[in-house]
A and B are shown apart, each in its own frame.
Chain A
Amino acid sequence: MRTWAFLLGGLVIWAVHFFTLYIMASVFLTPPLARTLTMLITLACLGAIAFLAFKARRIEIETATDSWVRAVALLGMGVGGVAIVWQALPALLV
């Protein structure tokens, strides 16, 4: 379970971020409140990713599989982070 959580962590947080934004935009439509909330949620999610990445870097590596899992997990977190920032941009621009 731990391994899967690391492997998919970045992307899961992206999904949480996306659906929270969706629900929020559906409930509040597009006022400043929605924009502020978007920023807060985004920061929280980025923080979560940073925490996960910090943890993932400290997993001990014994086999090739371990280092492979770590590489994919860290990249996934990177991709998740960029996607989260990207996802939040409309709140600033629209």
Chain B
Amino acid sequence: MKSETGFDPALYARFPTPGERPEGELEELERIWCAPRGWQLLTAVNNNYIGFFYVAAAFLFFLLAGILALVMRVQLALPLQGVLPQDTYNQFFTMHGTVMMFLFAVPMVEAIGVLLLPQMLAARDLPFPRLSAYAFWAYFVGGLCFFTSLFFGLAPDGGWFMYPPYTSITYSPGINADFWLLGIGFIEISAIAGAIEIVVGVLRTRAPGMTLDKMPIYAWAMLVFGVMIIIAFPSVILGTLLLELERAFNWPFFDPTRGGDALLWQHLFWFFGHPEVYIIFLPASGLVSMMVATMTRTPLVGHYLIVLAFLATGFISFGVWAHHMFTTGMPNLSIGFFSAASMAVSVPAGIQVFSWIATFAVGKPRYNVPTLFLLGGIVTFVIGGLTGVMVAMVPFDWQAHDSYFIVAHLHHVLIGGMVFPMFAAFYYWTPMTSSRALSEQLGKWAFWLMFTGMQVTFWPMHLVGLMGMPRRVYTYLPGREWEVINMISTVGAFTLAAGVLAFLIDVARNFRFTTDSDAGNVYGGGTLEWLPTGLYSTRSIPVVKSREPLWDDPKLAEDVEAGRYFLPGSATGLRETIITSPLRAEPQYLQIMPGPSAWPFLGAVFTAGFFILLTVQAYIPSFACGILAVICVLRWLWDTDRLVKEPDVDVGAGIRLPTYVTGPDSHGWWAMMILLIVVGMIFVMGVFSFFYLYGVQPRFWVAPADLWSLAMVLPAYGAASGLAWLARYMLAREATELWTPGVLFLCGAIALATGIGADLWSWIASGLRPDASGQGATVYALLGLEAMLAAIGLLMAGYISARNSRGMIVRPHNNSLDLCVLWVIYTAGQGALTAVLTRAVGG
């Protein structure tokens, strides 16, 4: 049979293995994966814990933002109410939107991924458990601090998309906007960390035999989700960085009087912001597809069409960002293109909806709480989708823009597309993490209250919008016939809240967190997360032969539990999981996983401290936190990338796998590649900003730095990448002294620093200043980015030397060195491009 890696798929026939497993094997597994207690919970990295904390935290933010919405609805129930003064109302809607989008929706779908994916793929854990822990704590601590700004009147008030010039220092002089820029910019970093984990997890830790076509549809959704985050989020990170630079140092990126352009922000924001909507919707759609199949007791109709729809959404959603800017006066043809793409993007969503309906039609649906939430979600989402197509028509959008029609549209899509599916998922998957399922009776109350509340709140908003009520107004005058409609909306909002309350009561009464004695497969799902599990996930890792293995092989659960498949115990006495190949999921090697550690937690707290203290302008404590954060992260990395004494081990049925690999086969290499794509996207968006400003404001541009200076800059970068590559090459040579690669690497990093130093120096010599014009600002921003990467390269050189001195850079190849070499080579390439491109245009 065809093989991707040289592994012979015929070997799968050895499973399930006959006979009993040796005594003590299971006990050892339990000891290795033992549960943390008390304060140790802070050091937990296992996905069962981190995933659960993550979901709970995201739900907390949903409640908090929901409370803000209720207060806003009280304020709007009657004209000229005095509950919220104007300033506070502005902070409320900004915080509501921001918290819902950035602290609830994206983290929630990511959290559910961290919780579910390892079980669904039958991996012991995702490949970077400490990264998940770091991402969670950074988000939680940072998010809480961000939210408390509301109590001090310091919350941002520029709307969830923070358009300049309103958010520039002239019109928003306080630190409110800085809270948003630094807080959200930083939380995005944690979202990216989670996405790296998820992408590598889905591609590399699937159970053997789980080829692309047998991968659960949810895993597909999460794969596309992760990739979309990696492409989209850098844009908003760059945007927040630029706006912060403008506010702090007066670099005029968005100031048209000095060659900037306020619309640049809108491009950067929406290049992220629209895909963001799909980033929220796709995982929810994956969940729906899984649940629909189980609830109707039939395989999903058109599985491959849904996969295609996910992929198409992933692509097309990047071609629609400017439909948020139809009213800004773009060229006609551009408007036409974006309008066409906006209509096209509804097609894949339509495919998904039709496939769900078909599955309901073909199967025998059970009308329990998850099904109700699924159907309620589909109906609500379709309504939102239809109003979405309406506003994709440019002339209609000119009328509806910035009115309550849009508020109605976006809530239908978000609540139907993500919130209802999330509640369905809570009901459906609770038996996997709780010893009791949630109550059907209370659940039905929760559903009907929420569903009615949702429609009663948001349907009327379409009307009041068409009647002219603008969004983001803290009150309105009587006599416009808006009163009754607004009152109905407010009553609806409280009905919805009552539904959420019913859910909370259900959780309080029935949810009991457990990792090993869960209520089990009450709905009869067919995928691997319903195998019996402990903290180590499944006892043994099954060979997957179909899309719903539990339906097709009724003995699977028993065999897995008895250890008759891969990795029935611990092969090395450490935490470990099997890394498989991306297409056909053939076993490649055994990954040794890091255990619990306080460093990710401490690193996250200090990272959050760095950003928050920076916002309140406490610079010295902030930088101290920054340094501590770096130390914590290095310390956590120090434990990773170690050899065990067995070069290869038996992973079951006599199949032997290596315990250490390097290069493109290793999971570390994949993570580094993805990280480089993230950095690359930040760079690409920076270059876009540079050319964009040149395009709209060329008269502010002056001659660029001397071309001759390239004669110094480019060779320096060339040397950097050459030396780094040489370091790797020399490591594999027998005759090389052990310190040689380390020194070569250090020289490479120094060459990097020389390159960026020379480039900076030539620009300073050219007389252009960053605060002079859009040109100055973007050039120095690009140089600043490069300098940051080079500084990380220097840090890496120190790290490599330290590891070298302890004999941890092993021969002939070593992952730590490989990854650092990749970094330096990339940085050199980006530096060279920066040098050339910034000199390409000028006055």
Contact = CB atoms under 8 A, between A and B. Distances in A.
Interface stretch (B339-347, B500-508, B572-580): B339-347
A94 B333 contact: yes
A30 B332 contact: yes
Contacts of A89: 336, 340
Given A65-B212, A65-B584, A83-B344, A90 B318 contact: no
A3 interface: yes
Given A30-B332, A69-B213, A21 B583 contact: no
Contacts of A27: 695
B304 A72 contact: yes
B337 A22 contact: yes
Given A14-B316, A30-B332, A68-B212, A62 B337 contact: no
Given A15-B318, A90-B333, A62 B2 contact: yes
A4 to B, nearest CB: 8
B340 A14 contact: no
A3 B212 CA distance: 11
A71 interface: yes
A83 B308 CA distance: 14
A44 interface: no
A3 B583 contact: yes
B333 A15 contact: no
Given A11-B315, A26-B331, A27-B695, A62 B340 contact: no
Contact of B211 (A35, A65, A76): A65
Interface in B553-568: none
A88 to B, nearest CB: 8
Interface residues of B, number: 32
A29 interface: yes
Nearest to B336: A90
A19 B320 CA distance: 11
B10 interface: no
B583 A65 contact: yes
B319 interface: yes
A75 B304 contact: yes
Interface string A61-88: 0111110110110011001000100110
A90 B340 contact: yes
Interface in A23-61: 25-27, 29-30, 34-35, 38
Contacts of A79: 308, 312
A65 B1 CA distance: 12
Interface in B323-357: 331-337, 339-341, 343-344
Nearest to A35: B333
A76 B333 contact: no
A15 B319 contact: yes
Contacts of B341: 18, 87
Nearest to A64: B213
User: 9 smallest A-B Cβ distances: which pairs?
Assistant: A90-B336, A68-B213, A94-B336, A25-B333, A65-B211, A11-B315, A30-B333, A25-B334, A18-B319
14 contacts: A12-B315, A14-B315, A15-B318, A15-B319, A22-B319, A29-B332, A30-B331, A63-B2, A63-B211, A64-B213, A72-B308, A79-B312, A90-B336, A93-B336
Given A14-B315, A15-B319, 7 more contacts: A15-B315, A15-B318, A63-B211, A65-B211, A69-B213, A72-B311, A94-B336
Interface of B: 1-2, 211-214, 304-305, 307-308, 311-312, 314-316, 318-319, 331-337, 339-341, 343-344, 583-584, 695
